[in-house]
Amino acid sequence: MAKQARAADDGSAGDALGLLRLSANAIAGERPVFRGVLRLLEERITSGALKPGARLPAERTLAGALDVSRATVVRAYRELESRGLARGYVGRGTFVSAGPDGSGAPFAWRGKLSASALRSGDSVIRDLLRASSDPRLIAGPGGCPATDGFPIDAFRASLDRVLGGAHRELWGLGPTEGLPPLREAIARRFGGRPESTLVLAGAQQGLDLIGRCLIEPGDTVVVDRPGYLGAIHTFRAAGARLVGWDVVRHDLDELEDLIVRYRPKLIYTNPTFHNPTGWVMPMQVRQGLLRLAARFRVPVVEDDTYRELYLSSPPPPSLRSLDRQSLVIYVGTFSKMLAPGLRLGWMTAAEPIIEQLALIKQRADPHTQSLVQLVVADLLETGKFEAHLTELRAEHRRRRDALCSAFKRRRASELVSWRVPDGGLYLWARLHARIKSSVVLRDALADGVGMVNGEVFYVDRAGEGEFRLCFSSIPTSQANAVAERVTRHIRAARADVASPSPLVAVG
Amino acid sequence: MAKQARAADDGSAGDALGLLRLSANAIAGERPVFRGVLRLLEERITSGALKPGARLPAERTLAGALDVSRATVVRAYRELESRGLARGYVGRGTFVSAGPDGSGAPFAWRGKLSASALRSGDSVIRDLLRASSDPRLIAGPGGCPATDGFPIDAFRASLDRVLGGAHRELWGLGPTEGLPPLREAIARRFGGRPESTLVLAGAQQGLDLIGRCLIEPGDTVVVDRPGYLGAIHTFRAAGARLVGWDVVRHDLDELEDLIVRYRPKLIYTNPTFHNPTGWVMPMQVRQGLLRLAARFRVPVVEDDTYRELYLSSPPPPSLRSLDRQSLVIYVGTFSKMLAPGLRLGWMTAAEPIIEQLALIKQRADPHTQSLVQLVVADLLETGKFEAHLTELRAEHRRRRDALCSAFKRRRASELVSWRVPDGGLYLWARLHARIKSSVVLRDALADGVGMVNGEVFYVDRAGEGEFRLCFSSIPTSQANAVAERVTRHIRAARADVASPSPLVAVG
């Protein structure tokens, strides 16, 4: 008995025959005969009685047990193989290759996912987007500017102008690279040349294109530590090994060491009002980074999502503007300057690289929506965009100040450290006690305040006591409520840590 | 001399030393010394004097020639390696691994493209999109409905309603799967359930997600022959081997044979008003296809882009509606029912598959633009969409009839065969004489008429004498002009074939 159980665990052929409980009766009357054999085997595999990896009985053995010809068994095994349920190996036998997987996927789909899909299993971003669109929250976890200040009147006026214009351009197919009026307006306002500008459905699409264009599974990518979780996900799903460069220290020796040790394919950085920390890379670090990139021929992806969202004075020049060797791929977006819901961004790089990225975009998303391209081009050209940005900065300043004051009033500095950000959208905080931010975040979310756990920004599982709060999405009228709830949940979590639950008496 | 030339071709070490023309003077004065050696080697590689694959001199030899220590050369070689310019192999020496490639890409980028990017080199779609947005054409090559009939007033009314509504949903981050009002409206109007509907930025995005989710390089995909070129590109770029199933014969034995021979990962088909032929798969073929798919466990991608664009009676049921085993991934789009420029589509499939596809979408395009989602949901809910479709069908009928009549008046049937399509957007034609359609198309394009060469729809280089003309994009007022130009260019090309150019006398 014990021996038989072990045999079952091994999935040996003798066992398979046992599990099949086959007899000539099992297929009596089915014609052609091989179909009966096939049905029997398929049922056992589908039910899980025969598990993946189990060896099927030798053809001769099964033929004997069922009282059919060996050719019939051979035919049934071939059919099983062609259905992806078994696989034959010369000299070793035929093995079950699929079975119920508990994922709930219909049986026909088992084992069909690509390696790339299997690397995409992490749903943090999707969950974050779901939570961000939950109207019950008073603060959303996603990165969002003050959208209640969206310039709706200017937007409508631009819409009217565009809808009154040429329809072929608006409704017909458009060029993959983007419509000329927007490419030109972007180049005039944000730098780069129209010919080396590729219009995107948001910055994230740009990162995905870069991943597809440059990364092979096994390549190394240096990313900010902590760093933007969308970049982490995208490069990881492309099969990259990620190594983090500490953005708080911004140590060029560390970067050189990483480059020499890992020979990265890319350096990804968000140097200006960094997500999640709000840091700005100093000028000499920018120059040093570019020197290293040139010396070791490593392309640099500059994610410049937050540049225009300064709260006091404009930040230092972009890496792109300092780059003399066409090493920088620059990614920009209107998501934080206008609204994430619009899905509009762009990238610039050396023209042959933009050309290559456009060839990849053409099959993923032949062109970005024409209407939003023309409306935003109009907002830029009429100066309405600039006026909006000025107002947006002022509103973000008010929101940052209201939230920081509210935290001060609640004596939050007893619980948590943060640095008042000078731009961007986020407050990045570190808990004092050895409290896991995940506990605080879970309770705060249930209480209507969405934040993001520090861990998701690190490629090396650090960040346990850190979290990100998007100050720009919290109206000043809600600042007190948010600060009250956050500090209350931290205090509660601290109390739990301080007084661990007593041992439960047994018996 | 001859011997030396051969040595150069071999890229032998002796030759490398010769080509380097090294002497101690070449690096005189540079400190640290290894930098001088490095600069020298890098210059020779960048200039192309040292070609990829060339072996560098042995460390000892080079040290002797330059009068430096061997350690200095070792350090320079290591640095070359870390810059990706050379690669050392134990016991064999150090070899140049990068060089100028003539692509025009900046030197820093050489050799950085991924295998996937290198499979994306075909620019047919991008060129087609460029041409389609060229206002000088009286007929565009891309697939486009009668966009001058776009329901602009209904669209504006819906826009107004949406812009007057809740702003958080509109401007903030949205769920990856799509906004609930649109998912529900799509399910009500087009079938499927809201929970198993994923909103897309167009059908092409859906095909790309399917490619990423299911295809490994080397997998086989069965596609229509001829078939939609966007699908061909996308699956090919995903690394698939494509085999064509003849859609004109629609022979189920042929399909079974393909499945048994190639064990495909997917079957992709556009069974209803097929692009490019306009054919409709008969009901018994639909059923037979699903039986084969179930028997061999092969998922089926049903591209149902043209279903609603019938010109007489509605087509047979979709594969999805006949599928009892959750084998079908269904792709739909508003591109041909409203406008391609909107970039809005959707897909449905078994929920676990939709979930997986959404996880891949989240990193390529976190969510589809909210504004267009809500506006189209409003058009669907208010019945304006339905009224538009009825008008669009009538306009397409007029355009098809005007063009076919114009071709008849020009006696086009002497030159070309076609079948009057019963739906969809295209006229698919075959030239009688042994004329290459590429010649006709080139001349017609120069004359303002864009068509697509038959060859791009075939995975096996057939289609030389076929071409596709998008009748729906040609206003009735232009039908005569288009027919006149097309027939004129075919007659001219035929005359060229009939009387080949005389031999040119030599001397």
Give tens-digit pLDDT for B7-16: 333 344 445 5
| Contact (CB<8Å) A172/B132 | yes
Mean pLDDT of A247-266: 94
Q: How confident is the model at residue B26 (pLDDT cuts 50, 70, 90)?
A: low
Give the dihedral sign, CA B455/B457/B462/B463: negative
Tell which A residues from 262 to 291 touch B, by Cβ distance under 8 Å: 263, 265
Sheet with A266-269, side-by-side order of all strands: A197-200, A345-348, A328-333, A300-303, A266-269, A220-225, A241-246
Three-class HEC string of A95-108:
EECCCCCCCCCCHH
Phi and psi at A170, nearest 5°, equal -80, -45
Cα gap B163→A152, rounded to integer Å? 8
The pTM is what? 0.82
CATH 1.10.10.10 occupies which residues in chain B?
A: 2-109
Q: What is the pLDDT of residues A337-352, one digit of tens each?
A: 999 999 999 999 999 8
Average pLDDT score over chain B? 87
Q: Which residues of A touch B299 (CB under 8 A)?
A: 108-109, 112
What b-and-e string marks burial along B223-251, b requiring 16 or more CB atoms within 10 Å of the CB? bbbbbbbbbbbbbbbbbbbbbbbebeebe
Inter-chain touch B294–A108, beta carbons under 8 Å: yes
Q: In A, residues 238-257, which contact B (CB 8 Å cutoff)?
A: none
Tokens found for residue B103 = 């692509």
pLDDT higher than 90, residue B184? yes
Q: In which residue ranges of chain A is CATH 3.90.1150.10 found? A: 124-142+388-498
pLDDT of residue B107: 61
**Per the CB < 8 Å rule, is A295 touching B340?**
no
The angle formed by the CA atoms of residues B444, B446 and B451, to the nearest 5 degrees, is 40
Share in percent of chain B as helix, strand, coil (round to 5): 50, 10, 35
Q: What six digits make up the tokens of A147? A: 């959208």
A2-109 domain in CATH 1.20.210.10?
A: no
Q: What homologous superfamily is domain A124-142+388-498 in, according to CATH?
A: Aspartate Aminotransferase, domain 1 (3.90.1150.10)
Average model confidence (pLDDT) across chain A: 87
pLDDT in tens, B304-313: 999 999 999 9
Question: To which CATH superfamily is domain B391-498 assigned?
Answer: Aspartate Aminotransferase, domain 1 (3.90.1150.10)
Residue of A167, A175, A201 lying closest to B201 (CB–CB): A201
Q: Which helix (H) or strand (E) holds B241?
A: strand B241-246
Q: Which residues of B touch A82 (CB under 8 A)?
A: 259-260, 263, 296
Say if residue A39's pLDDT is above 90: no
> Who among B150, B170, B351 is closest to A167 (CB)?
B150
Lowest mean pLDDT among B18-22, B198-202, B293-297, B500-504: B500-504
Average pLDDT of the segment spanning A469-489:
96
A363 and B125 in contact by Cβ < 8 A?
yes
User: Residues of CATH 3.40.640.10 domain(s) within chain B?
Assistant: 150-386
Whether residue A3 has pLDDT greater than 50: no
| pLDDT over threshold 70, residue B323 | yes
Helix (H, G, I), strand (E, B), or coil: what is residue A266?
strand
Residue in this structure with the two tokens 């460069």, named with its chain if needed = A245
Q: How confident is the model at residue B294 (pLDDT cuts 50, 70, 90)?
A: very high
Q: Is the CB of B392 inside 8 Å of chain A's CB atoms? A: no
Q: How far is A15 from chain B (nearest CA, A)?
A: 27
- At A453, which helix (H) or strand (E)? strand A452-453
Q: Go through chain B and tell me how many residues it has.
A: 507
- pLDDT at site B134: 81
Give A 156-185 residues with CB within 8 A of chain B: 156, 159, 163, 166-176, 179
Q: For A441-464, how does the pLDDT look when each residue is reduced to its tens digit (9 = 90+)?
A: 999 999 999 999 999 999 998 998
Q: Which CATH class is domain A150-386?
A: alpha beta
The answer to whether A94 faces chain B, any CB pair under 8 Å, is: no
Residues of A in contact with B152 (CB under 8 A): 163, 167
Contact A171 B339 (CB under 8 A): yes
Give this complex's ipTM: 0.81
**Position A108 pLDDT exceeds 70:** no
CA distance to partner chain B, nearest, from residue A289 (Å):
15
Q: Cis peptide leading into B32, omega within 30 of 0? A: yes
- Sheet of B220-225, strands arranged across: B197-200, B345-348, B328-333, B300-303, B266-269, B220-225, B241-246
Residue of A nearest to B362 (CA): A126
Tokens, residue B364: 């390529």
The residue ranking higher by pLDDT, B386 or A507, is: B386
Half-sphere exposure of A149 (CA within 13 A, CB side): 24
Residue A342 contacts B, CB cutoff 8 Å: yes
Distances (CA, A) of A182 to A170, A177, A382, B75, B132: 13, 10, 13, 49, 18
Cα–Cα nearest to B197, from B329, B104, B50, B18: B329
Q: Are B42 and B86 in contact (CB under 8 A)?
A: no
pLDDT tens-digit map of A58-94:
888 898 888 889 999 988 888 787 666 777 777 778 8
Q: By C-alpha distance, which of B394, B468, B469 is closest to B146?
A: B394
Stretch among A48-62, B94-108, B274-288, B472-486 having the lowest mean pLDDT: B94-108
B103 in A contact zone (CB under 8 Å)? yes
Yes or no, beta carbons of B353 and A233 under 8 Å apart: no
Cβ-based neighbours of B179, under 8 Å, separated by 6 or more: A133, B169, B199, B370, B373, B374, B377
Residue B40 pLDDT greater than 80, yes or no: yes
Reported as a single tens digit per residue, the pLDDT across A361-394 is 998 999 999 999 999 999 999 999 999 999 999 9
Residue B4 confidence (pLDDT) above 70: no
pLDDT band at B244 (very low <50, low <70, confident <90, very high): very high
Q: Could A359 and B205 be called an inter-chain contact, meaning their C-beta atoms sit closer than 8 Å?
A: no
Alpha carbon B238 to chain centroid, angstroms: 11
The phi, psi pair for A50, rounded to 5°, reads -105, 115
Residue of higher predicted confidence among B20 and B34: B34
Residue B506 pLDDT more than 50?
no
Collapsing DSSP to helix, strand or coil, A155 comes out as helix
Residue of B137, B367, B472 for testing the chain A interface, max A β-carbons within 10 Å: B367
pLDDT value of position B321: 96
Task: Compute how many other C-beta atoms are within 10 angstroms of the C-beta atom of residue B442.
Answer: 14
Contact B55/A at CB under 8 A: no
